[in-house]
Amino acid sequence: MLLSRLRAAVLGATGLTGQRFISFLHDHPLFKVALVTGSSQSAGRTYTEATNWFIEGTPPESVGGLVVSETRIRPLLDADVDVVFSALPSDVAGPIEHQLASHGLPVFTNAGYHRMREDVPILIPEINPGHLGLVRHQQYNGGYIVANSNCSTSGLVFGLRPLQRYGIRSVTVTTYQALSGAGRSGVASMDILGNVVPYIPNEEHKLETEPRKILGVLRDDHIEFADFRINASCVRVPVLNGHLESVVVELEERVSVETAQEEFSTFSGAPQELHLPTAPTHPIVVLTDPDRPQPRRDLTTTQQDHGMSVKIGRIREKDGLLSFFLLVHNTIRGAAGASVLNAEFAAAKGYLPVRGVN
């Protein structure tokens, strides 16, 4: 049978994460953008008219002419979509994602609303591919919700997963988070120009809990959280894209700098084995120059990387503590790119429908 690309809806398509979705999906081999939604302010205008395009280039032609729909259940069902990607603010996302899953649709979301539900996986297929199985326990009659993590968490877990077999006792993480992490309306220029702000609402709690779920073990219908403490401090800095994180890990077994470098640079997982379209060749790239990684110099998206690899550098070991810096692209690996990879993985594992050509 000839197969057609799955029809995808992007909720919150006009925002920063939504724009990244459009850029990942517009010529994707498995998905085709069939519907874009926004708030009532954007609804009824073409995507190009409604969107203040913040990322590289211009809105792709195949999507630019689509008329933005209101984010309500009826137009979404009428559009006959096969899969939903959500980039809505959390409080808006919660109810509509629930309704869509109840109507049998698979929903891949960036929003935090459902993340800590016992039956919703926070999926990162390089790290916890088996957690996808949790969706079988969702009571949605065929539909389901798969979340990806908060943007800082998505970097941190790559720094922790390769070390987990040495026994993680505790983690101390300090983040230096970009402005784009706060969405298009962001942070007022008067607050951030020439300044840093040592407070991001709700962020520390997310960073202290989500990694323990992601790095936990699937036990039938729930995840047993990984058993270590995380202490997080989150800071907003005047950088456009890219969250830098200073990480200190206390391990049961001593790990040398050379071993850590080896563990990080050889780390890979299911997306690499399956050659998924959005998978980076190397999920972690180790940088050895003493002043790297830096957001301005190391976020570059190459064809092999798509902005999906986490950069790690300045690895140090002292008194049983392993320290390093990591850098993650917050709207790509921390948001839209991660969701697209999750959907590609779900398709590879038979969790998405197949659409034949008429």
In the list 6, 9, 16, 33, the residue contacting ligand NAP (rule: CB under 6 A) is 16
Name the percent of the chain in helix, strand, coil, to the closest 5. 30, 25, 40
The nearest distance, CB 133 to ligand NAP, in angstroms, is 24
- Nearest residue (beta carbon) to ligand NAP: 15
Helices 337-348 & 16-25 angle (0-180, nearest 10): 40
Structure tokens at 74: 């009826």
Please tell me which residue in 114, 131, 234, 243 is annotated as part of the active site.
243
Say whether 243 is catalytic: yes
- Is 41 a binder of ligand NAP (CB under 6 A)? yes
- Is 147 a binder of ligand NAP (CB under 6 A)? no
In the list 9, 17, 135, 282, the residue contacting ligand NAP (rule: CB under 6 A) is 17
CA atoms of 207 and 157, how far apart (whole Å): 10
The nearest distance, CB 216 to ligand NAP, in angstroms, is 20
Question: How many residues bind ligand NAP, per CB under 6 A?
Answer: 31
Say whether 151 is catalytic: yes
* Residues 92-111 within binding reach of ligand NAP (CB under 6 A): 92-93, 110-111
Name 318's Cβ contacts closer than 8 Å, sequence gap at least 6: none
Q: Indicate the helix (H) or strand (E) that contains 88.
A: none
- Is 87 a binder of ligand NAP (CB under 6 A)? yes
DSSP state, residue 166:
G
Nearer to ligand NAP, 311 or 348 (CB): 311
Q: Indicate the helix (H) or strand (E) that contains 115.
A: none
In the list 334, 341, 342, 345, the residue contacting ligand NAP (rule: CB under 6 A) is 334
CA dist list (Å): 208 to 69, 75, 154, 255, 311: 36, 38, 12, 23, 21
Name 177's Cβ contacts closer than 8 Å, sequence gap at least 6: 151, 152, 200, 203, 234, 235, 236, 237, 243, 330
| Residues forming beta bridges with residue 219, ordered by sequence position | 222
- Is 185 a binder of ligand NAP (CB under 6 A)? yes
Pick the stretch among 205-213, 261-269, 303-311, 326-334 that binds ligand NAP (CB under 6 A): 326-334
- Is 89 a binder of ligand NAP (CB under 6 A)? yes
Catalytic residues: 151, 243
Q: Which residues bind ligand NAP (CB under 6 A)?
A: 12-18, 38-39, 41-42, 71, 87-90, 92-93, 110-112, 151, 180-181, 183-185, 330-331, 334-335
